[in-house]
A and B are shown apart, each in its own frame.
Chain A
C-alpha cells in the first residue's frame, strides 16, 4: 500500500515539481491503511457490493443523475469517448461493473490507492479524481444516467 503511494507520488512529482497535497480525511486514512479483502476485483473497493439493474431505465433517476452530472462531474467528464481531465463516459457501463463505477464515485481516495484499474486511469490522466461528496443514492442515479448515455432504454 505504502509502495503504491510512493509510486503515485513519484508519478505526480514527475508531472510537476511539487506533489499534490494529500486529500485524505482521518476516517478514510484509517480505512485505507487496512487493505480490505477484495472478493471480486472487477467490482472495485467500497461500500457497494451488489447493484441490481432494471430495464427499462428509471426516468426519474436519469434526470436526477443528469442534474448531478452537470453540477459535479461535467467539468472533467464528457459524454462522448474523449478524455478531457478524466475519461469520457461513452461506453463506461460496457467495460466496468456497476459496482466498480459506484465505488469509484463514492470511495475515490481508496480506489486510487488500492484498485489497479483506478490506478491505471490515474497514470493516464495524472489528475486525481476528486471526492465530490456524492452519496451512494446519488451515485446510483448517475449510473442510470450513464446507462442511458450508453444507449440503454
Chain B
C-alpha cells in the first residue's frame, strides 16, 4: 500500500516534469502488457461489435464500437438535440408529444435489441423513458428513433423495455405504483388501498415494428423493477423483480427494506393472452400519445389514444405467481437455456438461482406458503435451484456466456464475479473502477451469447481520467472473458450516464445501413424535388420557403417580402444522393436550433423574424470546398409593408 503511494507520487512527479505529458497513468496499473493490442482497431478497420449504451439522464442512446470503445453516434430518443434539429424541426416535434404536451427530455436507462428465437436479429433497439413513461423503437437501418408510445397508468417506467423471445411483445412494468382510474385524488397514506401496479404488454408488428398496447396487467401496489422474458422451455413467461412489498410510501430507504424477502413475480403471459381472447379484458379510459416517424414523408405524426384493455391478476387466477427472493431484488436474469432465473437482492448475502422446471412442479403441486392479495406465493425452497454463497456485496445484474457461466455486477464491492450456473461455484472476480451498475456481454441476455468480452458500466469515475471540475465523465470498462481469468483491457468514457447496454456482432447490421433517402421516394408535402420546384409562397402570415440544398448553394438564396410577424417555414430538401453528404441550415436569430438534412430528405425550420433587416442564413455542415460560399439572405420588412415577395438564386442586378 505504502509502496503504491510512493509509486503514485513518483509517477505524478514525472508527469509534472513532463509538463505536457498527455497520458498520465491511471491510479491502478492493473492492465497487463498485451491489453492494448487486444483493443486496437487499426485506422480504417472496423470494430467487431456494436455496443448500444443508454445515455441515462441525457435521454439519448450512444453507439460505440467494441473492442475499441470508439463512439460512433449519439442517437436522440427522448431528448431534443439541437445538433440535428431533433425535437426542433417541425417534422420531429411530434415525436416528443405526450399526454402532458411536448416533453423535451427524459431519462433513458435500458436498451433492448430485438430477437428472433431468442437470438439477436438486428432489426430494432428499444429504449425506455423513465420519467414520463414511454417506450421508443429505433431502427438499426437508419439509427433513428422511429416510434414512441406513451404508457398510461404507469408511475415511472424504469421497469422496461423487456422483450419476448420473438419480439412478440415489449413489456414495461411500473416503478411507482399509483392510484389508477377515476379516483386518483386520494391521500398518499391510502397506498395499500388505492395504489396499484401496471405491466404493459406492447405488441410489436413483426414486419413494420409498429407498437400498440395489447393489454395491461393490473397488479398489487408495490415497486416493479427489472425483468427478463423466458426463452426455450420458459417461453411464454416473464420474471419481474419486485421490491417494497412492505407497501411503504415514504422513506423507502428504510421502510421498504424491512422484509427479509421480497418477490420475483412470474407472469404466464400466454395465460393472459387466453383471457384476452376470451374477452376477460376490461376496457378502461386512459390517455396516451403514440408517435410515429414516416420515412417517406420524413415527418412524425402524434396520435392521442384514449383506451386500454386491462386484465386484473387479482381477479383472474393463474397469470401471476410470486416467488420469495431475498432483500430488495434488482436484477432478474434468465440464462441462455431458459431454465435458470437469477435473482439479485441488493441487500442480500446470497444470490438465489431459481429453476423454471421446479417452479412449474411447485405450481402443479400447489406448493405454496401463502398468498399476497390472493396471488399464490410459491415456497422458496421449492422453486430454488440453489444459492451462490458469499458472492460479493450488492449484487445487481447478471449476463451470461455460451459456456454455462454467469457474470454478476456488485455495486457495493465494485467488482464483476464470474460463476457457474450449474455448480453455483464462484470462478473468478475482478475489480471495477468504480461502483459498477449494469454490465454487458455481447448477446449476454439472449439464447446465443456471443461472448468474448464483458463491459462494466460504472457509476463513479473519480480519479480515472483527467479532472474536469466537479462534473466528471461517465465511464465503461472492457474486460476479456476468453480465458479462465477475466482481464481488464480498456477504460473508455461515455456520453451521459450509462445504465444498461447491449452489444451485437457488427455483421448483423452493418450491411443494412441506409446510406441515402432516394429523392424519387420523398413524399414530404413541402419537398422541392429539384431546383425547378424551389419557390416561396405566402399564405396569410405563413411564408413557406421550398428550398433546395446541393454542393454548394441553397436555392433560393435571396428572399424578399418577408414581414415582421410572419411565420417563415424553411422546408429544406437535400438534393444530394451520395452517402455522407448532409447539409445543415441555420438562420441568424432563430430561437430554436439548426436542422440537419440527410441526402434526399426534407426538414423544416420555423423562424419568426422580430425586426426588419437583412438576415443571413447558411449551410452548417461542412460539405465541400465551397462550403463557406453556401449562404444566402432573407430580407425582412416591417409589418404591413408592401415589399413584393421575391426569390432567386444567381440573379444579379447592376450595383451603383
Contacts and interface: CB of A to CB of B under 8 A. Distances in A.
A25 B529 CA distance: 24
A47 interface: no
A21 B622 contact: yes
Given A21-B580, A85-B551, A130-B551, A72 B575 contact: yes
B580 to A, nearest CB: 6
Interface in A103-153: 126-128, 130-134
Nearest to A130: B578
Given A70-B531, A133-B578, A75 B624 contact: no
A75 B518 contact: no
Interface string B520-556: 1000000001111100000000000000101111010
Given A70-B530, A74-B530, A130-B551, A16 B578 contact: no
Interface residues of B, number: 30
Given A70-B530, A130-B581, A15 B626 contact: yes
A114 B575 CA distance: 26
B628 A75 contact: no
Contacts of B555: 75
B626 A127 contact: yes
Given A25-B515, A70-B531, A74-B530, A130 B550 contact: yes
B552 A71 contact: no
B251 interface: no
A23 B625 CA distance: 13
Secondary structure at the A interface, as helix, strand, loop or mixed, is: loop
B578 A23 contact: yes
B511 to A, nearest CB: 9
Most B Cβ at <10 Å: residue of A18, A126, A133: A133
Interface in B415-440: none
Nearest to A13: B625
A23 B575 contact: no
B516 interface: yes
A35 interface: no
Contact of A72 (B530, B551, B579, B622): B530
Given A12-B625, A70-B531, A130-B551, A84 B576 contact: no
Given A16-B627, A16-B628, A72 B519 contact: yes
B577 A133 contact: yes
B650 interface: yes
Contacts of B515: 25
A57 interface: no
Contacts of B516: 133
Interface string A74-99: 11100000001100000000000000
A58 interface: no
Contacts of A75: 530-531, 548, 550, 553, 555, 575
A74 B530 CA distance: 7
A20 B621 CA distance: 12
A15 B530 contact: no
Ranked nearest first, the 8 interchain pairs of A and B with the lowest CB-CB distance are A133-B577, A71-B530, A131-B578, A70-B530, A75-B550, A132-B577, A15-B625, A70-B532
Interface of B: 515-516, 518-520, 529-533, 548, 550-553, 555, 575-581, 622, 624-628, 650
Given A71-B519, A75-B555, 14 more contacts: A12-B625, A21-B581, A75-B550, A75-B553, A76-B551, A85-B552, A127-B624, A127-B625, A130-B577, A130-B581, A131-B577, A132-B578, A133-B578, A134-B577
